[in-house]
């Protein structure tokens, strides 16, 4: 309360921050006045002068200070240039369409630009002209000569905005380019070399991965650093897309799946369960009819456990009485005291499926059905006790114990694989609905994005789920893929020295932007007051009633020629509405965010009189809807939401599509108890109570501000949960990120080095002592060393021709022996390469290191994937998966770095840039070595041109599948503390089953 009063008096923090920028706006406008007197040449000369001045400042902080100093004048220069282009009605082309420049920055746009320059998020409503706002800080920050990037949500917008705003930059003497999906590397390099570059997050991110993880020479790299980036539609990119890391993958070398083998059995099992659940459902119905609603609720609960999307169950849920009975049963079972009863209940089914946590479990019956002879083949053995037993067995030698353990481990792995396969198949059958979660096209399973309804060809679910769905649909099961390089969007953007963002909707997620990206949000006032009228939600019991009401509303708008934009959450819903409209003979357009450019054209027309446009969430985002003639008098564009989205932000985004720049406009959401949000997050429960209070009858609709609040409470819960999931993804990726930085730096140092031999010698100096210690221990001279083994290793790794007598290992300390070998190896290496052409040797040396890094890093990524999945199993053993993951990942990384070095050593004398030279070299070696240790001559790497092309084996080129792979996200465990901060367990609080 006190806070509220203070706010009234002092204004919010945001208002104060914005107010503080007002004097600078005044100064910019004063400069703009003065600049009017200059000729074009004089204005353009400013750019050159600033660029020169900034280029002379070596340190980044000093450059930034300078930028702050010149900001008012630099912004004024940009605004003044925009004014000049407007005055002369400058004509040009944008995406091959004629265009006339007609914009001069408004004051609020100057404010937005300053916020962006400060590395914050500008929240500016749709239609406020963010594209133009970005020109101010981009111009200013590009003056450093280090490049400035603008990140868009799709390729079309990158090109459109680069063409459009490029006109202004070019007028001022800066270059501007854009990255497009189909550009070859040399064009990309050109575009990155421009002062300002537009492009999508995935193009930027993949270029980073290719540059740092795959390029073998500087010339193959296209980017030139990460100075300043503005992310347009920043919520969409940093929040919605944050759950899908960018992954470059190739076909996996190992494939272990048995989906096709298990499919027929799982098919039958699912059918048995369906029959069982249908029978239970009709049993429940009878019990209801006999007035035994408690018993009926229990039976329904069982159906829900076994088949949450069971059709008769869903139908019964339309009845508030029956719903209540089920909820009552459910609530009572999730009390801790009834755990065993719950377990017994589950055992009456073949398996259970949890819709919220996306998990499935086989019961005893289910296991017996799948493998009647050996039902235990679906239970993980207790490895720890088995190991202890082995250890305690006096009859076994150490070697036999080791062997037995390896055997048990393998048995366990096979078991785990089988369980995993079955559980993925069950999820594929019971939770992933065809035509909702995916479609089948041309014998392929294509994922449909749950947020946008857009098909995502090329993306695959990971962890075998995609193969499981392929098996279910009976289409070709593709090889599993293996990660070759990966980064999350978040970590890509963290590379930038300065990051900023803009969007119409950031405020509701301000905490997340602050915590994760250190980005603060400033809400910029609109240029004109907002005239949009948001009506209360209308709430119905069933989807059917809801859609009928939506159609009626559309009909009414259409009758008075008011344009309508209808937002849906899925392709399925879009198509359903479209069919209903066809029946009513109402002409309309449907957008599914697939063809960005055509879509932009359709969306542009969405404000014409009488137009009806149906669109999924993301479709046409970034394209402005202007009102047609006479539309303002009819109330402007009307937006209808057909379902409340999981997050309030997406709803706001949809509402924001109308009433731009002070236009009239309105919006309304339609909600039903059958919507996912209502079903899963307890909203329906509370609503039912409210409904009762209102005395609502069957078939009626509800509308009250209280109800909007209730929906929003449900949304806040989901937002929290999703935030936690994203944070968790990031926590896991942070571990990987540190490792990636080390490896990529090592790689780039190798590529850049003019004297790669130094790096090779560093490896020798680091790795040889380690090896020597491995054989000799850390003892002093004359200690218990394993000299023979060391000698053997030396002679199969290096052509030194050492013998027992020559080596005299016994006479030296461990350290002295290491030093002795280092000198010998270096000496031999000098001799070897003296026979070769110096530049070729350099390429070869770089290649030996790169090859070792790449091969082992990829293996490491594979192992890390497995680890990440594996640690979740340990979650059961009361250990925090993240800590487990961190510890093991660290150990694995230490091993990785050591292995890379050993591999370099190993290949040092097995590679040559020139076979002839190698043979010459061999001829200088003692003959016995040739016979014994270099059989069949070298495993040579061919010629240098292969090396330069990064193509090690000549024919072993890796085929890259550059599409990002969708990953599953770790969820909040039911027993973890609830993210809402209540202190209760998640399952007893926000995660409580509806």
Does 624 engage in binding with ligand ADP (CB under 6 A)?
Answer: yes
DSSP 600-656: HHHHHGGGSTT-EEEEETTTTTT------TTTGGGTSEEEEESS--SSHHHHHHHHT
Query: What's the min distance (Å) between Cβ of 134 and Mg ion?
Result: 9
455-456/176-178 β-pairing: unpaired
Answer with the entry of ligand ADP, Mg ion, none that 624 interacts with (C-beta below 5 to 8 A by kind): ligand ADP
Segment 41 to 80, residues that bind Mg ion, using CB under 5 A: none
Min dist CB 131 to Mg ion, Å, is 5
Q: How many CB atoms lie within 10 A of CB 68?
A: 11
Q: Which of 127, 137, 567, 964 binds ligand ADP (CB under 6 A)?
A: 127
Counting contacts by CB under 6 A, is residue 505 touching ligand ADP?
no
Binds 453, which of ligand ADP, Mg ion, none (CB < 5 to 8 A, cut-off by type)? none
In the complex, which residue's CB is closest to Mg ion?
Answer: 622
Structure tokens that stand for 300 in this block:
């329904």
Nearest residue to 553 via CA among 522, 518, 580: 580
Distance CA(840)–CA(948), nearest Å, equals 10
- SS3 track for 854-892: HHHHHHHHHHHHHHHHHHHHHHHHCCCHHHHHHHHHHHH
CB nearer ligand ADP, residue 87 or residue 321: 87
Q: How far is the CB of 569 from ligand ADP (least distance, A)?
A: 22
- Decide if residue 131 touches ligand ADP (CB under 6 A): yes
Our CB check for Mg ion shows the closer of 498 and 660 to be 660
438-441/444-448 β-pairing: antiparallel
Q: Is 154 in the site for ligand ADP (CB under 6 A)?
A: no
Q: Which is nearer to ligand ADP, 128 or 211 (CB)?
A: 128
Site string for Mg ion, 583-622 (x = CB under 5 A): ---------------------------------------x
Residue 129 binds ligand ADP, judged by CB under 6 A:
yes
Distance CA 25, CA 968 (A): 47
Question: Residues 6 or more apart from 465 whose CB is under 8 A from it?
Answer: 424, 427, 428, 432, 968
Select from 79, 105, 117, 596 the one that contacts ligand ADP (CB under 6 A): 105
Q: For residue 721, which of 516, 976, 361, 424 has the smallest C-alpha distance?
A: 976
Least CB distance to ligand ADP at residue 232 (A): 7
235 is a site residue for ligand ADP (CB under 6 A): no
Output the smallest distance, CB 46 to Mg ion, in A: 28
Element holding 964 (H helix, E strand): none
Please give the residues from 108 up to 147 whose contact with Mg ion meets the rule CB under 5 A.
130
Q: Is 128 in the site for ligand ADP (CB under 6 A)?
A: yes
Residue 908, binding choice from Mg ion, ligand ADP, none, Cβ under 5 to 8 Å by partner class = none
Residue of 643, 648, 650 whose CA lies nearest to 621: 650
Q: Tell me the window of 105-113, 667-675, 707-715, 768-776 that interacts with ligand ADP (CB under 6 A).
A: 105-113
The answer for 544, left when phi > 0, alpha when psi is -120 to 50, beta otherwise, is alpha
For ligand ADP, which stretch binds (CB under 6 A), given 18-26, 99-107, 213-221, 910-918?
Answer: 99-107
Nearest approach in angstroms of CB 563 to ligand ADP is 17
Nearer to ligand ADP (CB atom), residue 99 or residue 396: 99
The radius of gyration of the chain from alpha carbons, rounded to an integer in Å, stands at: 33
Taking Cα atoms as reference points, which of 520, 431, 526 lies closest to residue 469? 431
Which segment (53-61, 126-134, 899-907, 944-952) binds ligand ADP by CB under 6 A? 126-134
Position among 104, 580, 781, 915 found at the interface with ligand ADP (CB under 6 A): 104
Of 75, 101, 106, 798, which one interacts with ligand ADP (CB under 6 A)? 106
Q: Which does 881 bind (CB under 5 to 8 A by kind): ligand ADP, Mg ion, none?
A: none
Q: Which one, 29 or 561, has the nearer CB to ligand ADP?
A: 29
Q: What is the CA angle 476-478-483, rounded to 5? A: 170
Residue choice 81, 110, 132, 270 for contact with ligand ADP (CB under 6 A) = 132
Q: Which residue is nearest to ligand ADP (CB)?
A: 129
Contacts 24+ apart (CB under 8 A), 948-953: 948/216, 948/217, 948/843, 949/216, 950/214, 950/215, 950/216, 950/217, 950/220, 950/850, 952/847, 952/851
Which of helix, strand or coil describes residue 978? coil
Under the binding rule (CB under 6 A), the answer on residue 130 touching ligand ADP is: yes
Stretch of 100-108, 393-401, 414-422, 543-551 lying at the interface with ligand ADP (CB under 6 A): 100-108
Kindly state the smallest distance separating residue 130's Cβ from Mg ion, in Å: 5
SS3 150: strand
Written as six digits, the tokens of 700 are 């009626």
Q: Is 167 in the site for ligand ADP (CB under 6 A)?
A: no
Question: Which of residues 108, 110, 124, 564 is near ligand ADP by CB under 6 A?
Answer: 124
Q: Are 703 and 536 in contact, with CB atoms under 8 Å apart? A: yes
Scanning 671-755, the segments in alpha helix (DSSP H) are 676-680, 683-694, 705-752
Q: Which does 205 bind (CB under 5 to 8 A by kind): ligand ADP, Mg ion, none?
A: none
Rounded Cα–Cα distance for residues 220 and 222 (Å): 6
Q: Which stretch binds ligand ADP (CB under 6 A): 130-138, 449-457, 606-614, 852-860?
A: 130-138
DSSP class per residue in 307-321: -TT-HHHHHHTTSHH
Give the nearer residue to ligand ADP in terms of CB position, either 524 or 554: 524
Instruction: Name the nearest CA neighbour of 211 among 739, 745, 732, 857.
Output: 745
Q: Which of 38, 70, 94, 103 is the binder for ligand ADP (CB under 6 A)?
A: 103
| Distance of alpha carbon 560 from the chain centroid | 44
**Residue 106 Cβ vs ligand ADP, minimum distance, rounded to whole Å:** 5
**What residue 128 binds from Mg ion, ligand ADP, none (CB within 5 to 8 A, per partner kind)?**
ligand ADP
Pick from Mg ion, ligand ADP, none: which does 127 bind, CB < 5 to 8 A by kind? ligand ADP
Q: Which does 366 bind (CB under 5 to 8 A by kind): ligand ADP, Mg ion, none?
A: none
> From the list Mg ion, ligand ADP, none, which binds 104 (C-beta under 5 to 8 Å, kind-based)?
ligand ADP
For 226, half-sphere exposure in the C-beta direction (CA atoms, 13 angstrom radius) is 16
Which entry of Mg ion, ligand ADP, none binds 122, CB below 5 to 8 A by partner kind? none
When the beta carbons of 127 and 453 are compared against ligand ADP, the nearer one is 127
Contact 117, 21 (CB under 8 A): no
Instruction: Please give the residue ranges that form the binding site for Mg ion (CB under 5 A).
Output: 130, 622
Enumerate binding residues for ligand ADP (CB under 6 A). Answer: 103-106, 109, 124, 126-132, 624
């Amino acid at each position: 309360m006190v806070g509220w009063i203070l706010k009234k008096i002092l204004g919010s923090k945001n208002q104060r921050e914005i107010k503080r920028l007002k004097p600078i706006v005044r100064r910019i406008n004063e400069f703009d006045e003065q600049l009017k007197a200059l000729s074009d040449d004089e204005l353009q000369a400013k750019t050159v002068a600033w660029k020169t001045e900034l280029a002379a400042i070596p340190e980044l902080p000093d450059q930034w200070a300078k930028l702050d100093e010149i900001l008012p004048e630099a912004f004024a220069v940009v605004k003044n240039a925009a004014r000049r282009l407007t005055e002369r009605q400058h004509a040009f082309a944008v995406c091959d369409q004629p265009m006339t420049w007609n914009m001069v920055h408004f004051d609020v746009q100057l404010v937005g630009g300053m916020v962006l320059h400060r590395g914050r998020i500008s929240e500016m409503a749709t239609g406020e002209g963010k594209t133009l706002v970005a020109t101010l800080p981009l111009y200013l920050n590009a003056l450093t000569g280090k490049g400035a990037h603008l990140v868009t949500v799709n390729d079309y917008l990158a090109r459109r905005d680069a063409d459009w705003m490029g006109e202004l930059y070019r007028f001022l003497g800066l270059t501007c380019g854009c990255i497009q999906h189909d550009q070859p590397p040399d064009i990309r390099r050109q575009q990155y070399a421009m002062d300002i570059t537009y492009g999508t997050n995935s193009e930027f991110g993949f270029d980073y991965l290719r540059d740092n993880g795959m390029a073998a020479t500087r010339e193959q790299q296209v980017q030139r650093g990460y100075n300043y980036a503005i992310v347009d539609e920043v919520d969409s990119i940093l929040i919605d897309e944050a759950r899908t890391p960018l992954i470059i993958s190739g076909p996996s070398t190992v494939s272990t799946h048995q989906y096709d083998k298990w499919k027929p059995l799982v098919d039958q099992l699912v059918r048995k369960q369906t029959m069982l659940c249908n029978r239970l459902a009709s049993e429940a119905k009878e019990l209801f009819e006999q007035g035994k609603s408690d018993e009926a609720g229990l039976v329904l609960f069982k159906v829900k456990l076994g088949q949450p999307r069971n059709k008769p169950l869903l139908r019964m849920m339309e009845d508030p009485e029956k719903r209540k009975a089920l909820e009552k049963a459910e609530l009572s079972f999730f009390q801790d005291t009834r755990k065993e009863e719950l377990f017994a209940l589950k055992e009456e089914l073949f398996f259970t499926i949890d819709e919220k946590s996306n998990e499935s479990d086989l019961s005893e019956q289910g296991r017996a059905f799948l493998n009647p002879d050996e039902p235990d083949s679906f239970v993980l053995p207790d490895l720890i006790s088995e190991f202890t037993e082995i250890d305690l067995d006096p009859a076994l030698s150490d070697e036999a114990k080791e062997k037995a353990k390896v055997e048990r481990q393998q048995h366990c792995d096979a078991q785990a694989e089988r369980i995993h396969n079955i559980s993925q198949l069950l999820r594929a059958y019971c939770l992933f609905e065809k035509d909702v979660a995916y479609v089948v096209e041309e014998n392929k399973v294509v994922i449909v994005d749950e947020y946008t309804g857009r098909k995502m060809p090329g993306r695959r679910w990971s962890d075998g789920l995609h193969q499981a769905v392929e098996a279910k649909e009976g289409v070709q099961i593709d090889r599993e893929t293996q990660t070759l390089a990966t980064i999350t969007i978040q970590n890509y953007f963290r590379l930038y020295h300065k990051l900023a963002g803009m969007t119409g909707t950031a405020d509701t997620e301000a905490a997340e932007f602050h915590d994760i990206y250190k980005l603060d949000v400033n809400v910029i006032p609109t240029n004109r007051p907002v005239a949009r009228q948001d009506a209360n939600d209308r709430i119905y019991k069933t989807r059917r009633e809801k859609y009928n009401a939506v159609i009626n509303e559309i009909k009414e708008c259409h009758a008075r020629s008011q344009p309508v934009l209808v937002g849906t959450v899925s392709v399925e819903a879009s198509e359903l509405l479209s069919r209903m409209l066809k029946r009513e003979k109402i002409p309309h357009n449907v957008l599914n965010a697939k063809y960005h450019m055509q879509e932009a054209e359709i969306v542009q027309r969405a404000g014409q009189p009488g137009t009806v446009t149906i669109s999924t969430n993301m479709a046409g985002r970034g394209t402005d809807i202007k009102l047609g003639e006479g539309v303002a008098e009819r109330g402007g564009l009307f937006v209808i939401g057909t379902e409340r989205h999981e997050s309030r932000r997406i709803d706001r985004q949809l509402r924001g599509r109308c009433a731009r720049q002070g236009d009239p406009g309105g919006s309304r959401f339609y909600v039903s108890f059958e919507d996912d949000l209502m079903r899963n997050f307890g909203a329906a429960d509370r609503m039912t109570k409210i409904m009762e209070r209102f005395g609502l009858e069957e078939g009626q609709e509800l509308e009250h501000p209280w109800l909007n609040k209730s929906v929003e409470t449900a949304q806040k819960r989901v937002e929290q949960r999703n935030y936690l999931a994203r944070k968790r993804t990031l926590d896991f990726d942070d571990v990987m990120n540190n490792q990636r930085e080390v490896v990529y730096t090592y790689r780039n140092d190798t590529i850049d080095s003019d004297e790669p031999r130094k790096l090779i010698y560093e490896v020798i100096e680091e790795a040889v002592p380690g090896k020597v210690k491995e054989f000799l221990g850390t003892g002093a001279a004359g200690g218990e060393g394993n000299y023979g083994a060391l000698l053997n290793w030396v002679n199969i790794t290096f052509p030194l021709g050492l013998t027992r007598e020559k080596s005299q290992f016994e006479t030296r300390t461990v350290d002295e022996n290491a030093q002795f070998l280092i000198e010998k190896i270096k000496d031999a290496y000098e001799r070897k390469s003296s026979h070769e052409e110096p530049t070729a040797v350099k390429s070869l040396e770089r290649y030996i290191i790169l090859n070792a890094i790449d091969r082992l890093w990829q293996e490491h990524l594979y192992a890390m994937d497995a680890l990440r999945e594996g640690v979740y199993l340990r979650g059961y053993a009361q250990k925090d998966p993240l800590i487990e993951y961190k510890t093991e990942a660290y150990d694995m990384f230490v091993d990785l770095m050591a292995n890379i070095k050993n591999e370099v050593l190993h290949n040092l004398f097995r590679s040559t840039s020139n076979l002839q030279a190698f043979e010459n070299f061999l001829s200088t070696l003692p003959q016995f070595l040739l016979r014994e240790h270099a059989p069949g001559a070298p495993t040579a790497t061919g010629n240098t041109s292969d090396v330069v092309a990064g193509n090690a084996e000549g024919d072993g080129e890796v085929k890259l599948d550059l599409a990002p792979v969708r990953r599953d996200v770790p969820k909040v465990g039911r027993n973890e503390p609830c993210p809402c901060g209540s202190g209760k367990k998640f399952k007893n609080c926000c995660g409580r089953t509806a």
